[in-house]
């Protein structure tokens, strides 16, 4: 039996172990990128001098990361032990020090992850769990210390039970965290090693001059890392392609189920499609253009045999999110895809890996289901989808719109000639002209860049002459049917904002 100081040290180790497990489990529940252990480890890796890194790699080889994690764990347990002894000697100094390590963990996470309040949860959960457990155990040890000889046996058993129970909790929690982490790593490995099939029908070639390359304007192709992300997932669903399948159900002649391997073996096509969010404010950035590799939804629906009377397809994702898409948008000639890749790379997890839908001409909330697992052919009248159940319109065709990228709002520019540039979009209809206006002047035709297709946005640029002073630049687009962009200001709810994007600048 350890002495009383030994118990205090053991209590501290148990508290530290539970703290680590709590932090890792919280990260597992939210997002793997928020793991405090990984964050601290990465900070260590970055801080360690090169020669030490080389030494570690020489000694531990490819197990260098495991060696780092193991030494971190040993160090954490030693710190825990010291905190335990300190807590016994000078309560609550030990638990305060343990809690401070939670704050340090938070700092490490913040230095790694993109800031979001969520990133603070795992280290704070860790710190809180550590403090509470240590205080509870230390109180028992103090009771044991103060116990008269007649009670010594009972209070020692109480300490033994509490410390032993805590150790078991730490072990089980840690085991769960490790298991969840390794299944995440497994999916990430599968994704990293995927061989994408060559498209049977390659994407449209980008015509020369489609990207005007005006400094300050968004590029024609949005890199995956810069593509906006909108979803209701608190934690990015990690879907294993080996167990993923897509079922076609509802008003069909025969239910069909397709595996990832079967989907990858289909004749896939590549298409440029600009995806936009209904919540995009006028002038906003919830829009991006990418090259999608996928299989036409219409072919899968044809295999299932759509029954008469159906007018919608309810798509469901692995995390339960749903969208209802007009059936005709999935059966007409447009490139509605079950997409497996984005800009030549397997879908990033946050953009729907392994499979998502992309439908030209419709806002994402009624069409672009990520992590899709079911297509139910049905009637609008019989279904409620996630957002249409929350006040958004049942139909969500993308509205004709345009945006000035440069100059930026409030920018100070030189008086004289200035290039106004940006993008215009009317997916699946096409843009025919873009016009720019200075203050209350005439609408001037902008130079319209070559387009990839009617399903993608188009760049424009216009040279305007700005005298000194404050000016308002406005833009409007015309679609391929000759419709002029709606200037009336309407909010994003229920079916997308309208109004013209204006930018105020100061010319000097």
Residue by residue, DSSP assigns 110-146 as HHHSPP-GGGGHHHHHHHHHHHHHHHHHHHHHHHHHH
The verdict on 277 binding Mo ion (CB under 5 A) reads yes
Map 4-65 to HEC letters. HHHHHHHHHHHHHHHHHHHHHHHHHHHCHHHCHHHHHHHHHHHHCCHHHHHHHHHHHHHHHH
CA distance 410 to 451: 30
Nearer to ligand MTE (CB atom), residue 95 or residue 343: 343
**Contact with ligand MTE (CB under 6 A): which of 272, 365, 392, 460?**
365
Cβ of residue 467: shortest distance to Mo ion, in angstroms? 41
| 352 contributes a contact to Mo ion by CB under 5 A | no
Residue 493 contacts Mo ion per CB under 5 A: no
DSSP character at residue 350 = G
Strands 444-445 and 431-438: antiparallel
CA distance 8 to 16: 12
317: contact with ligand MTE by CB under 6 A: yes
- Which residue number is nearest to ligand MTE in terms of Cβ? 364
Tell which one of 36, 122, 127, 364 touches Mo ion (CB under 5 A). Answer: 364
Which one, of 278, 368, 370, lies nearest residue 325 by Cα? 368
Q: Is 496 in the site for Mo ion (CB under 5 A)?
A: no
Judge whether 122 and 24 are in contact, CB under 8 Å: yes
Query: 430 is written with which tokens?
Result: 């096409």
Whether the upstream peptide bond of residue 92 has omega within 30° of 0, thus cis, is yes
Residue 230 engages Mo ion in binding (rule: CB under 5 A): yes
* Near Mo ion by CB under 5 A: residue from 272, 365, 371, 460: 365
Q: How far apart are CA 414 and CA 436, in angstroms?
A: 19
Nearer to ligand MTE, 274 or 453 (CB): 274
**Rounded Cα distance, 9 and 87, in Å:** 9
Residues 221-260 contacting ligand MTE, CB under 6 A: 227-232
Site size toward ligand MTE (CB under 6 A) is 18
With CB under 6 A as the contact rule, which of the stretches 40-48, 172-180, 315-323, 325-333 interacts with ligand MTE?
A: 315-323
Residue 460, contacted partner among Mo ion, ligand MTE, none, CB below 5-8 A by kind: none
Q: Which is nearer to ligand MTE, 316 or 476 (CB)?
A: 316
Only one of the segments 51-59, 106-114, 357-365, 430-438 lies at the binding site for Mo ion (rule: CB under 5 A); that segment is 357-365
Provide the binding-site residues for ligand MTE, judged by CB under 6 A.
227-232, 275, 277, 317, 319, 321, 351, 364-365, 368-371
Provide the binding-site residues for Mo ion, judged by CB under 5 A.
230, 277, 364-365
């Amino acid at each position: 039996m350890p002495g009383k100081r030994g118990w205090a040290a053991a209590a501290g180790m148990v508290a530290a172990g539970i703290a680590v497990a709590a932090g890792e489990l919280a990260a597992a529940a939210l997002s793997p990128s928020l793991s405090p252990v990984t964050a601290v480890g990465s900070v260590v890796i970055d801080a360690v001098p090169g020669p030490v890194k080389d030494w570690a790699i020489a000694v531990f080889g490819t197990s260098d990361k495991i060696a780092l994690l193991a030494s971190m764990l040993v160090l954490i347990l030693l710190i825990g032990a010291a905190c335990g002894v300190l807590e016994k000697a000078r309560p609550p100094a030990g638990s305060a020090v343990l809690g401070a390590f939670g704050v340090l963990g938070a700092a490490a996470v913040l230095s790694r992850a993109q800031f979001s309040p969520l990133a603070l949860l795992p280290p704070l959960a860790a710190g809180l769990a550590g403090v509470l457990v240590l205080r509870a155990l230390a109180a028992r040890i103090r009771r044991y210390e103060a116990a008269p000889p007649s009670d010594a046996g009972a209070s020692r058993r109480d300490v033994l039970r509490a410390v032993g129970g805590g150790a078991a909790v730490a072990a089980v929690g840690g085991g769960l965290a490790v298991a969840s982490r390794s299944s995440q790593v497994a999916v990430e490995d599968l994704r990293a090693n995927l061989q994408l099939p060559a498209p049977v029908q390659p994407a449209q070639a980008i015509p020369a001059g489609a990207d005007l390359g005006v400094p300050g304007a968004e590029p024609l192709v949005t890199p995956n890392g810069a593509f906006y992300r909108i979803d209701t997932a608190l934690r990015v669903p990690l879907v294993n392609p080996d167990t993923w399948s897509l079922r076609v159900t509802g008003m069909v002649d025969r239910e069909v189920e397709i595996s990832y391997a079967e989907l990858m073996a289909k004749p896939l096509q590549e298409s440029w499609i600009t995806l936009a969010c209904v919540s995009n404010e006028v002038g906003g950035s919830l829009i991006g253009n990418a090259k999608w590799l996928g299989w036409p939804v219409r072919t899968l629906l044809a295999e299932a045999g759509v029954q008469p009377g159906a007018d919608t397809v309810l798509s469901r994702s692995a995390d339960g999110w749903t969208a209802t898409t007009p059936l005709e948008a999935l059966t007409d000639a447009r490139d509605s895809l079950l997409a497996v890749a984005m800009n030549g790379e397997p879908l990033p997890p946050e953009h729907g890996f392994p499979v998502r839908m992309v439908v030209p001409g419709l806002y994402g909330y009624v069409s672009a289901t990520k992590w899709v697992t079911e297509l139910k052919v049905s009637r609008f009248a019989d279904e409620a989808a996630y957002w249409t159940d929350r006040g958004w319109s049942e139909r969500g065709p993308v509205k004709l719109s345009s945006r000035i990228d440069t100059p930026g709002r409030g920018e100070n520019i030189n008086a004289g000639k200035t290039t106004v540039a940006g993008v215009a979009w009317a997916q699946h209809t096409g843009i025919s002209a873009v016009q720019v206006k200075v203050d209350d002047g005439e609408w001037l035709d902008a130079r319209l860049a070559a387009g990839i297709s009617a399903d993608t946005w188009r760049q424009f640029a216009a040279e305007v002459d700005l005298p000194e002073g404050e000016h308002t630049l406005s833009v409007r687009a015309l679609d391929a049917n000759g419709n002029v962009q709606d200037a009336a200001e309407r909010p994003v709810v229920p079916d997308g904002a309208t109004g013209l994007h204006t930018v105020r600048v100061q010319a000097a």
